[in-house]
A and B are shown apart, each in its own frame.
Chain A
Amino acid sequence: MKPAPALLVGAAPFIHEAASAASSTWLTFFLLVPSLLFSALAFGAGIFLVAGTALVSALAADALQALWRRRFELSDGSAALTGLLVAFFMPPGVALYIPAAASLFAVLVVKGAFGGLGNNWMNPALGGLLFAWLNWPAALTGGDAQALGGFGTLVSGMDSTVTRALNLFPFSLLGSELPAGYFGLLMGAKSSSIAELSGFLILAASVVLVARKVIRWQIPASIIAAYLGFRWIFGGLAQGGGYFGGDALSSLFSGSILLVAFFMATDPVTSPSRRPAMTLYGIGAGALAGFLSGNGSGLGPLATAILVMNSLVPLLEGRKGRRTASRRTA
């Protein structure tokens, strides 16, 4: 007879849609790499040490829990992504035991203790970060303006050029003026954590995530809308102003809200999977983050907002069951 190929047997379906969970996770991981490189440009190669520590700790923790559970899932990429996200919230010169501790807590306690991937109720990276923030708040708040060095001067120079150009056209025609600093913020003239550097690169990566259907746009869109609204209402209070006086736009670009909204709040394990619940979840997270954020950014309020909403997901989704009673007919 003809040479028989090595065939698989097993029940239908015999074909599958392209995206696998692991490939989506790795795509997310690699979309964050440009942001890391950009940060290295600004802060120096030292941040690779921070990122490396967080990554290695997360992978080691995953190997440990895999060994314990006798189920090896390292190639699913979730631990690597957790490690990278932890690193993104670290200030450039942080003591290395802090990212290590955050990664270990994230993978071993937040994920592993609840039964591994798919069974954790809170986002592992955010859980680990909150753990670090509660233990070493001083080390994680407040940036080091000196760390930016020459890069800071470069970006603020660019900022004044671009702002002047934009004010000539189109803003002068509209009778308004763009204050200096926004463009610099978007491009990364700020000094806080690694990730907060470039809102622009995060936005670019998020476009790919939405286009590839790795994340649903409803969650980040509702988070950002609610966050902007609440920052506008409450953001002025911390500076001694009244209600409705917050500088919402600046907090959008200067905070880590973009990274949180697109890369952490959208984690399929800990976010709702149905559309109405997604929007509610996003509005809740954005509003809470905007309300808690006090003056400016800061990891604590963002992590708290998302984790509170993570815990509410079962409530938002309601009783699982059939969506409709009707059956489609030809």
Chain B
Amino acid sequence: MAPAPVRVPYDHHRNWEYSLPVPNACLPPTAWILLKQQAGAASRRVVEPGDYVREGMAIGVPSGEGSAYVHSPIPGVVISVARVRLPEGGSCESVRIALGGSFDKLGKKPEKYRWESMKRQDLLQTLREKGVVEASESGRPVAELLARPGHREILVDALDEEPYVHTETAIFRSRPEEVLEAVRIVARVLDLGAARILAASAYPFLNGRLSALLAKKEQGEATIELKHTAGRYPLLPRGKENSAATGPGNATLILRPSTLVAIYDAIVHAKPFVERFVTIAGGAIKRPRVLKARIGTPIGDLVEECGGFQGAPERLVLGGPFTGLPAKDLDMPLTKTTGAVLALLPSETRKGRVRACIRCGRCAEHCPVGLDPEAIWRALSVGRSAEARELGLDDCISCALCSYVCPSRIALSQSFVARLGAPEASV
């Protein structure tokens, strides 16, 4: 039975429906594979123009901590290597591959490996070799993340907190078995007995199928608990828990379904991280959808796949509207960390001129961590960073709500983000 499309109630910007099962996007005739798709340094290129590459063959190898393997998502010929600018700043090499040749894996029934008998070190090694990184904005290599000591709890964040985006929910709905199995793999690596899954209470459909799955626990396997929560933005104090999780002694490791299915594919099917789920949405997209697409597909191809544009978009966004990165053209390729591609109309961006602060207090009213963004912004704008920190700048979770509600369109959160990254010594 084909599941009915679901209306998403808490998408207050634009209600749209995605269909299940999630359709596969067409293979790109030409793919651009960035050699920096992770938090750490760019990978070292191991192919030259003219080389023939097979599907899933490594074209980049890690160049140090935080770096990862990069694989070819399609079989074909390396046409060229170019240096491209990254939306987050900086640049990296990009390998252009023209589709061609035979498919080794596509269309064949994937083999299933029994991971239960694998050792912890072998599991980590496999995750490393398959280029698995966090499939959300942070993009840290998963093997490194899991190898850190001190994790006491696994939290699966199966929520799409930002408007427009349905990627994580679509994954959790279409592949719950694989998400749960990946949680058990991670629990095994970390030697933990329990995990929690956060899902939006707007999705009661998950209850029946999941509780059956959760109950089917074998001896010695991790207990997984499902917790529903209301859909709103921001749902979690983003970033803080995650970054704290990297320090010693911290409890919670947060993983998202997009990362977990990549872990599953790597361990169970020995598949490198070459495809991912991505939301294509926004007012300028004719038929918004969630797609499964190959890494390296130009976002223009994905937009075409959704019927192209309606109206002239003012903004192209990689990721959610509150935390994403701007894309400057349609040639930008899909990366391991791109959860969404949004094309937004002027009626959605509602940019407006930056004007004087009228002290309306809306930023302070909306700040989810109780800061006074106006006071911090005033302190920063006259160079008083110490005062800004005293006012709680370091507690800012960069949710960007203050900038979203500011009637004078002042770049509040943008100025905080710039400062949060700054080293303590500059204060």
**Residues of A bordering B, CB below 8 Å:** 1-2, 4-22, 24, 73, 75-76, 116-119, 268-269, 272-274, 320-330
Contacts and interface: CB of A to CB of B under 8 A. Distances in A.
A15 B350 contact: yes
A24 B407 contact: yes
Given A16-B351, A118-B356, A273-B364, A329 B371 contact: no
Contacts of B313: 5, 7
B104 interface: no
A322 B13 contact: no
A324 to B, nearest CB: 4
B350 A18 contact: yes
B392 interface: yes
Contacts, number: 171
A117 B358 contact: yes
A285 B309 CA distance: 54
B355 A117 contact: yes
A18 B408 CA distance: 11
A16 B350 contact: yes
13 contacts: A9-B328, A10-B326, A10-B414, A11-B417, A13-B322, A13-B401, A14-B349, A16-B352, A21-B355, A73-B355, A322-B395, A328-B237, A330-B235
A242 B119 CA distance: 93
A2 B405 CA distance: 34
A3 B348 CA distance: 21
Nearest to A119: B356
B358 A268 contact: yes
B411 A8 contact: no
A11 B318 CA distance: 11
B43 to A, nearest CB: 26
A325 B327 CA distance: 37
Contacts of B217: none
Contacts of B391: 320-322
B323 interface: yes
Contacts of B211: none
A7 B372 contact: no
Interface string B228-243: 0100000111001000
A264 to B, nearest CB: 15
Interface in B316-356: 316-317, 319-331, 342, 344, 348-353, 355-356
A7 B407 contact: no
B282 to A, nearest CB: 9
B358 A118 contact: yes
B170 interface: no
Interface of B: 13, 163, 198, 229, 235-237, 240, 298, 300, 303-304, 309, 312-317, 319-331, 342, 344, 348-353, 355-362, 364-365, 367-372, 374-375, 390-392, 395, 400-401, 403-409, 411, 413-414, 417
A198 to B, nearest CB: 28
Contacts of A328: 237, 368-369
Given A5-B316, A11-B417, A13-B321, 12 more contacts: A4-B329, A9-B326, A15-B321, A16-B352, A20-B350, A21-B358, A117-B356, A118-B357, A268-B358, A273-B360, A274-B361, A320-B375
Nearest to A317: B361
A329 B237 contact: yes
Contacts of B375: 320-321
A15 B348 contact: yes
A123 to B, nearest CB: 12
Contact of B321 (A1, A12, A24): A12
B414 A1 contact: no
Contact of A2 (B330, B353, B409): B330
A10 B403 CA distance: 13
Contacts of B328: 7, 9
Contacts of A7: 313-316, 326-329
Which of A10, A14, A76 is packed against the most chain B CB atoms within 10 Å?
A14
Given A24-B407, A273-B361, A116 B315 contact: no
Contacts of A8: 314-315, 326, 349, 351
Contacts of B390: 321
A326 B369 CA distance: 7
Contacts of A118: 356-359, 408
Contacts of B355: 20-22, 73, 76, 117
Contact of A322 (B240, B331, B371): B371
Contacts of B321: 12-15
Contacts of B198: 330
A188 B319 CA distance: 57
A154 B229 CA distance: 62
A259 to B, nearest CB: 20
A1 to B, nearest CB: 6
Nearest to B372: A320
Contacts of A117: 355-356, 358
B325 A274 contact: no
Given A11-B417, A21-B407, A322 B326 contact: no
A294 to B, nearest CB: 33
Nearest to B163: A15
B392 A322 contact: yes
A21 B408 contact: yes
A325 B408 CA distance: 27
B427 to A, nearest CB: 18
B374 to A, nearest CB: 8
Nearest to A273: B361
Given A14-B321, A16-B404, A322-B392, A327 B237 contact: yes
Contacts of B414: 10-12
Given A13-B404, A269-B359, A274 B364 contact: yes
